[in-house]
Amino acid sequence: MRYHRFILLCVGAFLLLVGGWHCGSSTIQLACAQDTDCEGGQVCRSQSCVKLCTQDADCTSKEVCTQAGYCVVSTNSTSFETTDFDGGSSERKIECNSGDTRRCYSGKEATKGVGLCQEGRQTCQFGQWSECVGEVTPKEELCDGHDNDCDGAVDEACKTCTAEPLEQLPAGHFSQIMSVQYSPDGKIFATASTDYTIKLWDAATAKHIATFKYSKSAPSHIKFTGDGKKLVALYQSRQLIVWDVASRKPSLQTLLQSAYVYSLAIHPTEYKFAVTRSGSIDIWSFKTRLVLSKSIPTESRQNFVVFGKDNTLYTTYNNKLSKWDIKQSKLIETGDNTETSYSSMEISDNGRWLAMGSYRYLYVYDLNKSIQSYTQRYTGERSPYGLSFSRDNRHLAVSHRYTYRTLVYDLETKQVISKISLTNDRAQSVTMHPDGSAFVTGSQQGAIHIWKTEDSTLLHRINRIQNWQNNTVAIHASSDHFATVSNEDTIKIWSLSEKKVLRTLETVKHKIRYMAFRPDGKMLVAALRGSGEEQFLHAYEVSSGKLLYSSKKAEDGPINHLTFSPDGTRILTSSDKHRLELWNADDGAHVRTFRGHLGPVYAAQFSPDGTSFVSASWDNTIKWWKVDEEYPIQNIDGHGTEVTAIAFAPNGKSFASGDSNGQIKLWDAQTRQLIHTFEGHQAEIKTLEYSADSMLLLSGSLDTTVRLWNITSKKALSTLSGHDAGIFRVVFGTNTSQLISGAADKTILWSCQ
């Protein structure tokens, strides 16, 4: 048979023959791009017209009615013939009906549902089951408060550590605010940032309440459910997490199977939400954790979606505002405005008003009327990016990306009633208080502002945390001293036994990058960054806090790390400009420059005898050096990504390195061969530290956790979770039962048993 303008579907699949199309026993189905291409009683699915149905009797004898409401060939027909391009013929078994889902699990049956282990879901595509998505099978126990190996026991043989915060730092974000949202009752608001965190704040006092952490990606969109009990977060990695506001824990977590996910909408009264992704809009149920509908097509990559009244949905379809019937997946109406792209879309709580932002204009539609033409178009401000209606449906707040201004409009009078402007910063997102009395803006630089709508006065400001990568800790255990750096760029010397500040060193105007005690505990050296490219080493006398000297190095880029030689006579610094420098510890005189890395050097560590050192770099390598030679004597490969941390065992037998993927590798110091790879961290390793007896290894990561490892057994002993920010330094105290961790949010003293 030959067909020129038709596509034949052979039980969900089709292949082209030389000279025409060929199928076994099958129903001829017209090709289509949308429902309007099909005849009455049919819809377009997978580019083919299929019959609508409510029961099997509505379909042919070889078909069944799916839950989605259309006919497909029954799986009772176990196979169909396909013809290969080389002329051969084969049979392919039909496993399922397209669109069906089922549970799946590849681990041992006894572990299913135990601990972290859970079933996944498979979706039928062209008669075949897809990969199992979302399943979790047994892993090695990680000492992280979870049953990773799914044997019914949590953290068996793990150390228990208790946290005692020593210094609480400001609770703001560290980088750009992507989304802000008031809760429906207006008592709290949430902020999402590229620092990988979502924070909850008291709306009246602007006090920090809680932090939601997901270490693998940054959140791009957040929305409260209508009852305020859940906060739905869409992440840049396509991960979607539903957080329980009361317990601060995720109640649903899934990876969206799409190359691109763009926006998120929450139904105002029902427990479901919608996300736009490449080619379709998915509507999810909170309760069943299943996709309710995947039937609404989209043609534009930059798609936005909102739920309307009476089971409708509004989206950008072919770069126009479009109204859809959700149940029938039918296009109801299309607006007449066409833009090359849109930056935002929002709908009022009563379903009357809809606002859309493009590069040039702000469009407002009265949904009680036809959407074929907009009600109002505002042209005075460019690129309206953040949109938020008050719950009384009277006001609309709009943040404009390129003009640094945020405006509040009265929807009835169409007048601006409030206008604010940030200095040298852009309001990236905005949310209105439910009663319209206030609004919150989140800025590109990470600041949060709460404004009074009536007169545009500033009620509260939550500043961005400055120097968030520079909070570090140094310790000299034998003298009971340790030092911390605060966000004010001051150094505090503490007594470990008394847990109090002994003295604050001379305040500096430069950013403190790193610091270390000399082995005898009498000197503390800090690496600082001044204005421009100026770099300094400041040496302090610990007993008095006196500045001993300041060495200036102008041309060598930021100093990422410094360490003393075992005898305390030399200081080794690692810089962003691909080099390492050796300094005289007594007077700060420059001794030697080491060259050989092809990118920033993140850390270096002396061998116990002081004759050699190892370095970790952006160029994916570890290099082995002799102190008296300018160039490395050996390259050590094995990470395949940036090597971000390194430590040498005090006994000289091994050294450890950490990378940007969260892996830690243990190496034999004599042969330079890999001994073991520790896995468990979910983000970049920033710091490593051996215990004095070389039996334990501490690691700190941007995933906000500290982990303790046994070098002999190669097992995790404990995972410490108490920070809301990435860890930048970990050290052992006077013994292996005491640990100190430093991050941008706080410094914590840990006691382990």
Sites in the chain below the pLDDT cut of 70: 1-33, 46-47, 62, 67-68, 73-94, 257-262, 277-279, 286-302, 338, 340, 380-382, 466-471, 477, 486-488, 507-509, 530-533, 553-556
Give tens-digit pLDDT for 250-297: 887 777 765 556 678 888 877 777 777 666 777 877 665 555 555 566
Tell me how far apart the alpha carbons of residues 34 and 22 are, in angstroms, rounded to a whole number: 24
Tell me how far apart the alpha carbons of residues 701 and 683 are, in angstroms, rounded to a whole number: 6
Task: Find the Cα–Cα–Cα–Cα dihedral 233, 235, 240, 242, rounded to 10°.
Answer: -20
DSSP-assigned letter for residue 691: -
| Nearest Cα to Cα of residue 611 among 676, 566, 664 | 566
Domain spans of the chain, in order of start:
7-93, 169-462, 473-752
| Nearest Cα to Cα of residue 328 among 50, 35, 72 | 35
Residue 24's Cβ-count burial label (10 Å; 0-12, 13-18, 19+) is: middle
pLDDT (0 to 100) of residue 331 = 85
Residue 111 main-chain phi, psi, to 5 deg:
-95, -10
Tell me how far apart the alpha carbons of residues 123 and 133 are, in angstroms, rounded to a whole number: 9
Question: Strand 473-476 to strand 727-732: parallel, antiparallel, or no bridges (unpaired)?
Answer: unpaired
Strand partners, 741: 730, 748
pTM for the predicted model, two decimal places: 0.68
H-type helices in 500-635, by residue range?
none
Tell me how far apart the alpha carbons of residues 731 and 563 are, in angstroms, rounded to a whole number: 14
How many other CB atoms are there within 10 angstroms of residue 751's CB atom? 13
Residue 132 main-chain phi, psi, to 5 deg:
-80, 110
pLDDT (0 to 100) of residue 11 = 34
Tell me how far apart the alpha carbons of residues 113 and 368 are, in angstroms, rounded to a whole number: 49
Q: Are 228 and 185 in contact (CB under 8 A)?
A: yes
pLDDT (0 to 100) of residue 33 = 65
Q: Are 372 and 361 in contact (CB under 8 A)?
A: no
Tell me how far apart the alpha carbons of residues 339 and 316 are, in angstroms, rounded to a whole number: 10
pLDDT (0 to 100) of residue 157 = 76
- Residue 670 Cα distances to 604, 612, 674, 693, 752, angstroms: 17, 12, 11, 18, 32
pLDDT (0 to 100) of residue 81 = 39
Which run of H or E residues covers position 646?
Answer: strand 643-648
Half-sphere exposure of 672 (CA within 13 A, CB side): 14
Residue 544's Cβ-count burial label (10 Å; 0-12, 13-18, 19+) is: exposed
- Residue 742 Cα distances to 113, 145, 342, 688, angstroms: 36, 21, 42, 12
Q: Are 383 and 425 in contact (CB under 8 A)?
A: no
Residue 437's Cβ-count burial label (10 Å; 0-12, 13-18, 19+) is: middle
Alpha carbon 310 to its chain's center: 35
How many other CB atoms are there within 10 angstroms of residue 133's CB atom? 15
* CATH architecture type of domain 473-752: 7 Propeller (2.130)
Strand partners, 539: 525, 549
Which run of H or E residues covers position 275?
Answer: strand 272-277
pLDDT (0 to 100) of residue 525 = 95
Amino acid at 426: R
Task: Give Cβ neighbours of residue 544 (< 8 Å, ≥ 6 apart).
Answer: none
Total length of the chain: 753
DSSP-assigned letter for residue 37: G
Task: Give Cβ neighbours of residue 203 (< 8 Å, ≥ 6 apart).
Answer: 182, 183, 186, 187, 188, 189, 433, 438, 450
| Nearest Cα to Cα of residue 226 among 283, 268, 285 | 268
Could you tell me the two tokens for 155? 């953290």
Give tens-digit pLDDT for 112-138: 999 999 999 888 877 788 889 889 999
- Mention the CATH class of domain 169-462: mainly beta
**Nearest 5°: CA angle at 426, between 422 and 430?**
90
Task: Examine domains 169-462 and 473-752 and report if their fold is the same.
Answer: yes
